[in-house]
Amino acid sequence: MLSRRERQIMDFLYEHGPATVGQVREGIEDPPSYSAVRSLMRVLEAKGHVRHADAGRAYVYRPAVNAERARRSVLKHVVRTFFGGSAEATMAALIDLHARQLSADELDRLSAAVERAKRAPR
């Protein structure tokens, strides 16, 4: 798992694309010192979450995996850890959590996704 700061940096990189330490520091809320961000980038690289490329005097960092792959990995972890591996329990919790915010169109799309899943080969 990532620390709060590591997650903050990864979120920035996924949202804004490749960035230098200075750009990350400027773009995150309540940033730590430049050297702290640089250290966090090295930690993230050692963990395999980011890669860097030389750009003159600075390194440019980017996520090591694309956003979709990272999203799937995190979602699998959440489902396994907090919902005992149950997709049903996860989906029910999400719908309950956001029931008032879901539009009729969103609910129709969710229903259509359930119908597609019913027809999918097992």
pLDDT in tens, 26-79: 999 999 999 999 999 999 999 999 999 999 999 999 999 999 998 898 899 999
Q: Which CB contacts under 8 angstroms, 24+ apart, belong to 64-72?
A: 67/14, 70/10, 70/14
Q: Is the pTM of this model over 0.75?
A: no
Pairwise CA distance, residues 67 & 64, whole Å: 9
**Residue 23 near residue 55 (C-beta atoms within 8 A):** no
- Tell me which fold the domain 4-63 belongs to: Arc Repressor Mutant, subunit A (1.10.10)
* Residue 31 DSSP code: -
CB of 48 closer than 8 Å to CB of 2: no
Q: What is the residue extent of each domain of the chain?
A: 4-63, 67-119
